[in-house]
Amino acid sequence: SIPGWWIWFYYICPIAWTLRGVICSQLGDVETIIVGPGFEGTVKKYLEVTFGYGPNMIGASIAALVGFCLLFFTVFALSVKFLNFQKR
C-alpha cells in the first residue's frame, strides 16, 4: 500500500506504467491455478485482487507511455530552441 502523499509519484512514473503494461499483457490472461498464503485462484484473478490490474489496463498503459514520450520530446525540443548556454 502506497501512502497518500506518495501516490502522485506512482502515477507520473513511466517505469510503473511500463511494468503495469508488461504484467497485464503477459500475465493478464493466464488461467493457471496458484495456491499461496491467503489466496487460491488463477493468476488473472490474483492480479485483479492484489494489484487491481485487469485486461483493460493495457490500453491505458500504452496511452500513458505515448503521452510521456510526447511530453519528453516537447520538453527536449523547447529546451534546444530556447536554452542557450554558449557565451560568445
20-73 per-position pLDDT tens digit: 999 999 999 999 999 989 899 999 999 999 998 988 899 999 999 999 999 999
Domain residue spans of the chain = 7-82
When computed from its CA atoms, the radius of gyration of the chain, rounded to whole angstroms, is 19
Element (H, E) at 33: strand 33-36
Q: Give Cβ neighbours of residue 8 (< 8 Å, ≥ 6 apart).
A: none
Predicted pLDDT at 84? 86
Q: Which of 11, 43, 49 is closest to 30 using CA atoms? A: 43
Q: Please state the pTM of the whole predicted model.
A: 0.80
In percent, how much of the chain has pLDDT > 70?
100
Residue 55 has what DSSP assignment? T
Q: What region does 49 belong to: left with phi over 0, alpha with psi -120 to 50, or beta? A: alpha
Span 61-81, pLDDT tens digits? 999 999 999 999 999 999 999
